[in-house]
Amino acid sequence: MIVQVLALTVCLYSNDNLLNAICKVESNCEESAVGDSGNAIGPYQIWYVYWKDAIDYRPSIGGSYSDCVNKEYSEQIIKAYWDRYANENRLGRKVTDEDRARIHNGGPNGWKKKSTIKYWNKVKSFIHDRNSQHH
């Protein structure tokens, strides 16, 4: 029983390294950050349309766009956005961290855009740095 619970926990929280890396790249995890000419807010630099997509998909999250300054709230928004757009049905294959990061940066089809490759490389370097610190 304990082994099953631990396995489930690992599965549910496997995106933590990716989320932490995205947070670092986007704003150095500053909750008060505002970017993209005022269009992006919070530690994950979420745009209104991104938030709206996530809320439309998972209304149970509730809240308002201004709540995206909160890291934990933003993570719920990101996970809903990923569930909506970074899934096997849409991509036609298993979803990777690269897909998730590039969709976060470039919208629903960000995983296909050349313009998101540089962003993924930044995120990947933070994941790599973090992993090398723990080994």
**Residue in the structure block whose two tokens are 């590039």:** 102
31, 36, 88, 99: the active-site residue = 36
Query: Is the separation of the CB atoms in 23 and 71 below 8 Å?
Result: yes
Residue 36's CB is within 10 A of a number of other CB atoms, namely 9
**Residue in the structure block whose two tokens are 């933003």:** 74
Q: Has 36 been annotated as catalytic?
A: yes
Name the DSSP letter for residue 93. Answer: S
Strand, coil or helix: 131: helix
Query: Is the separation of the CB atoms in 60 and 1 below 8 Å?
Result: no
Name the DSSP letter for residue 67. Answer: G
26, 53, 67, 97: the active-site residue = 26
Annotated catalytic residues are 26, 36
